[in-house]
Amino acid sequence: MRNLRIKLAYDGTDFHGWQVQPNRRTIQGALQEALAEIEGDTVEVHGSGRTDAGVHALGQVASFHLKNRIPADNLRRAVNRLLPDAIRVLEADEADADFHPRRRAISKTYEYRIWRGEVCPPFSSRYVYHHPYPLNEEAMAKAANAFAGTHDFRSLAAGGEEKESTVRTIFSSRLEKDGDLLTYRVRGEGFLYRMVRNIVGTLFEVGRGNFAAEDVARILAAKQRSQAGPTVPARGLFLVEVQFRAATGS
Amino acid sequence: MRNLRIKLAYDGTDFHGWQVQPNRRTIQGALQEALAEIEGDTVEVHGSGRTDAGVHALGQVASFHLKNRIPADNLRRAVNRLLPDAIRVLEADEADADFHPRRRAISKTYEYRIWRGEVCPPFSSRYVYHHPYPLNEEAMAKAANAFAGTHDFRSLAAGGEEKESTVRTIFSSRLEKDGDLLTYRVRGEGFLYRMVRNIVGTLFEVGRGNFAAEDVARILAAKQRSQAGPTVPARGLFLVEVQFRAATGS
């Protein structure tokens, strides 16, 4: 059977996240339905990782096996015709037999978008977290840098992962301002459940003056969820890109 | 009573247009409800003109009378708290007693956005008309220019206006390309019902080669709706701006 790899974008607002669930609209569920219609049989789609309800993607990667001989480019068009407008397959290619988007991934990039203007444009409200109140953005940017490196991120994990290692390497962690848009951009080898939203919640506490940028080291060392900031809403979060190692290394 | 003027933006996707209708979500209806809550009495909102179901606005202007003495800026914030995210009041100011956004308007600017890329990004799908098929965009741009000037636009009116004058002056009418986005931008003293969407539908017929750019003069002279192109979908249309004459001229 062929192994196909797709890159997709989605507006997660009206979906219960990536993972298929009975009687719920999910991204994986919508993809599997569309592909089953083309294949005439059930198709199991593997993602590079789950995204939560309301989280968006600019470049999620998934793979699946297919008996159907339809050329990859025609498949992309056919799937897009069957999918809702909120999910779009951007690219489709033949992958090597062993390709699996979760196992082959070496890093992922996420963005969290915060709208700082007093009025949030109605065309952006599904894609940003609106926070027009005072924040010390300079201190937040300094705190953002402090998450880079290899750390035990237990304080930033939503829980339930206590038995596995919570050590992760973050390659870059930066806060950037462009007009009214404040964007946190992070690239790491992997992320714990809700880790990006918990980091951003912690940056907010720094922005409000409840933590100093220097407290990040202390929060990480504590290895207790209660020491970090709250989880920010899903609507501002985008899975931007997934990076993979070459096939030979698999 | 005070006369207040507001400038507002809205995502028209989930509304049945501007005008209040029983048991339907409309922009005027949502505004009147929010204002009634602040005033403790019914408030009648006057718009610069109706927008159809699904049409968006970047700068619609409306006015209403209020007994409440709340400062205009506080009113803006209070109304935004009561309105759905899809409608935002951008500005609120005291207006002279005679100000009426329809009667005082001297021109309006609309934009119609067409996505030419093969895949429509899920974050844009509510705000563009997706047309990835071949079009002679050069001929369309030439035809767009031909609508500028004072003409009888009866061929471009949706009907029902036969007894009133269908002569209108269009100050500028242009088609512009920016990457995958093709935008028709038109400024005129006034527009007949569905006129912008019928002009764009006519431009599409030019793009497909069914009309030549030179046919625009013939279509206008025919004064028959059947001579022009079909109405394009509402989702690509934005009311961009309303221009007013100074108060002294009223």
Does residue B74 surpass a pLDDT of 90? yes
Q: Kindly indicate the confidence band of residue B249, based on its pLDDT and cuts at 50, 70 and 90.
A: very low
Task: Tell me the C-alpha distance between B65 and B46, whole Å.
Answer: 10
Cβ–Cβ under 8 Å, residues A160 and A233: no
Q: Is the pLDDT of residue A250 over 80?
A: no
Mean pLDDT of chain B: 95
d(CA B46, CA B95): 13
pLDDT at position B248 is 62
- Round the CA-based radius of gyration of chain A to a whole number and report it: 19
- CA-nearest of A240, A235, A243, A11 to A110 is A240
- pLDDT, position B36: 98
> Considering only residues 177 to 216 of chain A, which have any Cβ-Cβ distance to chain B shorter than 8 Å?
none
Strands (E), A116-166: 129-130, 149-152
Report chain A's mean pLDDT, rounded to a whole number.
95
Say which of A87, A120, A121 has its CB closest to residue B122: A87
In the predicted structure, residue A48 carries a pLDDT above the cut 90: yes
The values of phi and psi at residue A24, to 5°, are: -130, 145
Q: Choose, out of A79, A123, A235, the residue to mutate when testing the contact with B (most B CBs < 10 Å).
A: A123
Host H or E run for residue A244: strand A237-244
Cross-chain Cβ contact B80/A121 below 8 Å: no
Among the ranges given (A77-81, A148-152, A173-177, B161-165), the one the predictor scored with the smallest mean pLDDT: B161-165
Going by the DSSP 8-state scheme, the letter that residue B49 receives in this structure is: S
- Better pLDDT: B249 or A54: A54
* Of A5 and B163, more confident: A5
Q: What is the complex's ipTM, to 2 decimals?
A: 0.86
Q: Is the pLDDT of residue A249 over 50?
A: no
Strands B237-244 and B105-115, bridge-based pairing = antiparallel
Report the chain B residue with the minimal C-alpha distance to residue A78. Answer: B119
Q: Please compute the mean of the pLDDT values over residues B104-133 and round it to a whole number.
A: 97
Tokens of A156: 């930033």
Alpha carbon dihedral A162, A167, A172, A176, in 10-degree steps, equals 30
Instruction: For residue B56, give the nearest of B83, B33, B27, B79 by alpha carbon.
Output: B27
Mean pLDDT of B43-64: 96
Per-residue pLDDT at A221 exceeds 50: yes
The percent of residues above 70 in pLDDT, for chain B, comes to 97
A11 touches chain B (CB under 8 A): yes
| Residue B163 pLDDT | 73
- Which pLDDT score, from 0 to 100, does residue A248 have? 62
**In this predicted structure, what is the pLDDT of residue B246?**
83
Which pLDDT score is estimated for A164? 85
- With CB atoms and an 8 Å threshold, state whether A86 touches B125: yes
Alpha-carbon distance of B96 to B247, in angstroms, equals: 7
The answer on pLDDT for A160 being more than 80 is no
Tell me the average pLDDT across A203-232: 96
Query: Which residues in chain A are closer than 8 Å to B87, comparing Cβ atoms?
Result: 122
Residue B214 has pLDDT above 70, yes or no: yes
Q: Is the pLDDT of residue B250 over 50?
A: no
DSSP character for B111? E
- How much is the pLDDT for A67? 96
Residues of B labelled catalytic: 52
Count the alpha carbons within 13 Å of B59 in the hemisphere toward its beta carbon. 11
Partners of B240 on chain A (C-beta within 8 Å) are: none
What three-state secondary structure class fits B249? helix
- pLDDT above 70 covers a percentage of chain A that reads 97
Residue B199 to residues B146, B220, B225: CA-CA distances in angstroms?
Answer: 11, 11, 11
The per-residue pLDDT for A147 is 98
Which residues of chain A lie closer than 8 angstroms to B125, CB-CB?
Answer: 11, 85-86
Cβ separation B123–A9 shorter than 8 A? yes
